[in-house]
Amino acid sequence: MLAPSTQRGQCLFCSFRALVARTPKHIYNVQRSFITSTPRAREVKRTKPSPSASGAAVRLRRHGRKTTSSQDFSFPDETVLKRVQLALKDLKEDLSSREAISDSEPSPLEALDPGGTRWTNYTTRLKDILEFRGEKATAQEERLLYEIGSAQSNKSSTQDLQRVLHYGFIDFVLHKNMEDGILSKSAITDLRYPTEWYTAARQIQRNVHLHIGPTNSGKTYNALKRLEEKGDGFYAGPLRLLAHEVYSRFKAKGAKCDLVTGDDIRRDDDPNVSLYASTVEMVDVSTPVEVAVIDEIQMIASEDRGWAWTRAFLGANAKEVHLCGEARVLPLVRELCAATGDTLQVHEYKRLNPLKVMTKSLGGDLKNLRKGDCIVTFSVMNIHALKKQIELDTGRHCAIVYGSLPPETRAAQAALFNDPDNDYDFLVASDAIGMGLNLSVKRIIFHRVHKFNGVGHEQLSVPQIKQIGGRAGRYRSAHHQMNDGKSKTSSEVSVGLVTTLNEEDLPIVRQAMNAEAPPLKVAGLLPPGDFMEDLAARLPKGIPFEYILRRVADSAAMHRRFKMCSIRDQSDIARSIESVRGLSVTDRIIFVAAPCSRGSQRVNAVAQALARCIAQKREISIIDVPEINLEVLEVPISGDRSYLESLEDLHKSLVLFLWLSYRFISNLKDRDVAFYAKGLVEDKINTCLVEFSANPELRKRVLAYKKRMSIPSLPTDGTALPASSSQLDMPAEDETALPVDWMRGESGAESGEEQESRSVAAAAA
């Protein structure tokens, strides 16, 4: 979030986790024909309001429907006004009674309304526009009505309405201050020329090499060869797992290399090392290098993380910049190179092996699976259910990979699947495999072609299906590259196959695989940290940081070539720590960039506890934070999903602690203890996934296998993950298979899908 300040040399946002952007709660139209653009919301019939309906009810219904529901919700005038008046009363009491940061500063209400007239004028004007009286509402007031209508839909929560009214009051005060000349109108953020933020990169003539082509075409391989030749530069990838993999390959070849991710920094013994692998958010744009390799450049248009690719590309202080990605990014890169004055060379690639869509599906029968198959589904619950059913039906082991698993566990599961010398014949994965994971997949099978986006179902886009389907028939997996000559099976070129579990989805996949994705036209952007600090310094004291964040994003002036990235996750983090007193603006900027899982209450509680410790300037370790649930490490391992979720939450909490420990060095101590606990959690998660099976025979075989040899894993730091002794609680009786109907993909159990969609982005933190 918020690119680092280059004017002051501050590195406020070394890493960032963005989650899935909020989308309106419409009911998506599930189309059977394929679409190449973002799915559009279905038009909902609007009933004409009764003539007796009041102005306020009609207007609130019109504004509120936009973001909350496809159904009308109207309130009588008395109900609307009563709720608003009660919320205003509570808000005034809260702002008046809230303690200032210091005795010399006024309360939040006094800071906004020193003369005592603004509040009265605001409440009077608000009543007028709610009752449809007086002057026509301004655009700012229309937005306030829109947000009040949205908050009105949630009758059980008064905090949302109170927050909307608070931000409306701030808008009102600032607008009046501008009219009175107290506040300059230049406070609006100007983000039209982001190329000028990186002066060091603009002072050199860069040669940009764009490597474009489909998946499994050798794009990144050739770019990394150039980086290896020079030995001076960086690799920036979208996932921590990919950064680990590149780091491990360089180290395996004897190259001196550093690893830089948000929560893990490993420096070589030689202080003069100038080669490092990192996540894209951690790119150092101030240090000059020879070669920069930026992977998955098409993510520059991402709604959530596009800003990181924009920053890395525009700011890379390298003589050669190698961009690897899809062909649809070419028009945008051409425009950006023209704006920066860089030369551009385009290198086009073709797949190293053929990719074909099968003429038949599996017919809904998991017994038709073959060794090397990967089923892709989009729900954590479905992943575990599929694993259970496959092992029961086939008597063979099934590995799983999804976003909320720790990178080390995903690597271990991928290694089990890649190893041809064991009985892990199948893989069940989320769309996380579509981003760089090297797997020996012979056939990709779509469980279904619709995905839950947190609000409703939407059909997968052309790029999504092609990215996932392209993982079939990998030319050379990571297992083969790191274990040449050690496997009984050679890495011959094989045909990649793509199909579906159910017949009705196959035409959609076939059409998508043959379609061309539309070109990218805009790059994501977020305001730099110093912009936020400067604006906060000009505004009255006590204004919530979430307000500053949202209003800058809403009002910033942008060039048509760029777009503002979503700030929903950052806003949620800012809101959760707003009550913590004593944090500076810089502290809050760092926190909103932290990898805090919005979908987990446990992790949010940990973030609040760490914020309080930092505000109080305490020195702590993980054992001093009771919200970090270390007690789960003492619970015997089981195959229960809630147990695995507890381990995943603990892992996220430890990652958050480690991430912050690199930014608040004087407060968060004993990093080695946190790393040790993190390793224990990863071992337990891996043991849980490896040893637990619904098939008793498989359970016996894996325990016998562990006695003979270690479970294979993919090295990420030069060492393999240790094999753990079994701590599995054996069930009292055999578990039964699930009903066949659930495989149709129409189950209503979607609670895991929103979490999974957020988790893919979390992997980069």
Check which CATH number belongs to the domain holding 257 and give it. Answer: 3.40.50.300
Asked if residue 231 is part of any domain, the answer here is yes
| Amino acid in position 699 | R
The residue range of the domain holding 673 is 596-709
The CA–CA distances, whole Å, from 615 to 338, 609, 667 equal: 45, 10, 10
Indicate if 128 and 224 belong to the same structural domain.
Answer: no
Query: Considering the chain, what is the average pLDDT of its residues?
Result: 77
Q: What whole-number distance in Å separates Cα of residue 269 and Cα of residue 266?
A: 9
Asked if residue 747 is part of any domain, the answer here is no
Question: Can you give the pLDDT at residue 741?
Answer: 36
Check which CATH number belongs to the domain holding 601 and give it. Answer: 1.20.58
Asked if residue 43 is part of any domain, the answer here is no
**Total structural domains in the chain?**
4
Indicate if 320 and 199 belong to the same structural domain.
Answer: yes
Question: Can you give the pLDDT at residue 203?
Answer: 94
Indicate if 320 and 417 belong to the same structural domain.
Answer: no
Indicate if 340 and 366 belong to the same structural domain.
Answer: no
Would you place residue 745 in the very low, low, confident or very high pLDDT band (cuts 50, 70, 90)?
Answer: very low
Taking residues 135-145, report their average pLDDT: 82
Residue given tokens 């679409």 in the structure block: 35
Taking residues 25-33, report their average pLDDT: 35
Pairing of strands 233-237, 289-294: parallel
Indicate if 361 and 510 belong to the same structural domain.
Answer: yes
HSE of 424, CA atoms in CB hemisphere, 13 A: 28
pLDDT over 60 (residue 725)? no
Pairing of strands 457-459, 397-401: unpaired
Indicate if 382 and 437 belong to the same structural domain.
Answer: yes
Question: Can you give the pLDDT at residue 743?
Answer: 34
How many other CB atoms are there within 10 angstroms of residue 708's CB atom? 6
Question: Can you give the pLDDT at residue 546?
Answer: 92
**Which of 180, 203, 233 marks a domain boundary?**
180
Indicate if 254 and 141 belong to the same structural domain.
Answer: no
pTM score over 0.85: no
More confident residue, 673 or 79: 673
Taking residues 300-313, report their average pLDDT: 94
The CA–CA distances, whole Å, from 705 to 198, 424, 427, 701, 713 equal: 55, 12, 19, 6, 14
Question: Can you give the pLDDT at residue 537?
Answer: 85
Q: What whole-number distance in Å separates Cα of residue 224 and Cα of residue 233?
A: 10
Determine which of 201-205, 222-226, 456-460, 699-703 has the lowest per-residue pLDDT on average.
Answer: 699-703
pLDDT over 80 (residue 222)? yes
The CA–CA distances, whole Å, from 56 to 53, 161, 245, 604 equal: 8, 16, 58, 37
pLDDT over 80 (residue 68)? no
Q: What whole-number distance in Å separates Cα of residue 597 and Cα of residue 31?
A: 31
| Amino acid in position 721 | L
Indicate if 308 and 367 belong to the same structural domain.
Answer: no
Give the percent of the chain with pLDDT over 90. 36
Indicate if 273 and 293 belong to the same structural domain.
Answer: yes
HSE of 210, CA atoms in CB hemisphere, 13 A: 23
548 in Cβ contact with 534 (< 8 Å): no
The CA–CA distances, whole Å, from 677 to 262, 663, 681, 688, 729 equal: 17, 20, 6, 16, 22
Asked if residue 714 is part of any domain, the answer here is no
Would you place residue 718 in the very low, low, confident or very high pLDDT band (cuts 50, 70, 90)?
Answer: very low
Indicate if 213 and 255 belong to the same structural domain.
Answer: yes
- Which tokens hold the place of 755? 């979490």
Model pLDDT for residues 374-389, shown as the tens digit of each residue: 999 988 878 888 888 8
Determine which of 328-342, 467-481, 576-590 has the lowest per-residue pLDDT on average.
Answer: 467-481
Query: Residues 67, 71, 77, 82: what is their CA dihedral angle, to the nearest 10 degrees?
Result: -60
Helix (H) or strand (E) holding 249: helix 240-252
**Which of 180, 209, 240 marks a domain boundary?**
180
More confident residue, 188 or 587: 587
Model pLDDT for residues 519-569, shown as the tens digit of each residue: 999 999 988 888 888 888 888 888 899 998 888 888 888 899 999 998 888
Taking residues 7-24, report their average pLDDT: 35
Using left for φ > 0, alpha for ψ between -120 and 50, and beta otherwise, residue 570 falls in alpha
Indicate if 360 and 509 belong to the same structural domain.
Answer: yes
Asked if residue 734 is part of any domain, the answer here is no
Asked if residue 118 is part of any domain, the answer here is yes
Taking residues 232-259, report their average pLDDT: 91
Indicate if 407 and 472 belong to the same structural domain.
Answer: yes
Would you place residue 482 in the very low, low, confident or very high pLDDT band (cuts 50, 70, 90)?
Answer: very low
**Which of 127, 150, 180 marks a domain boundary?**
180
- Which tokens hold the place of 651? 């892992």
Asked if residue 611 is part of any domain, the answer here is yes
Q: What whole-number distance in Å separates Cα of residue 228 and Cα of residue 291?
A: 9
Taking residues 484-496, report their average pLDDT: 54
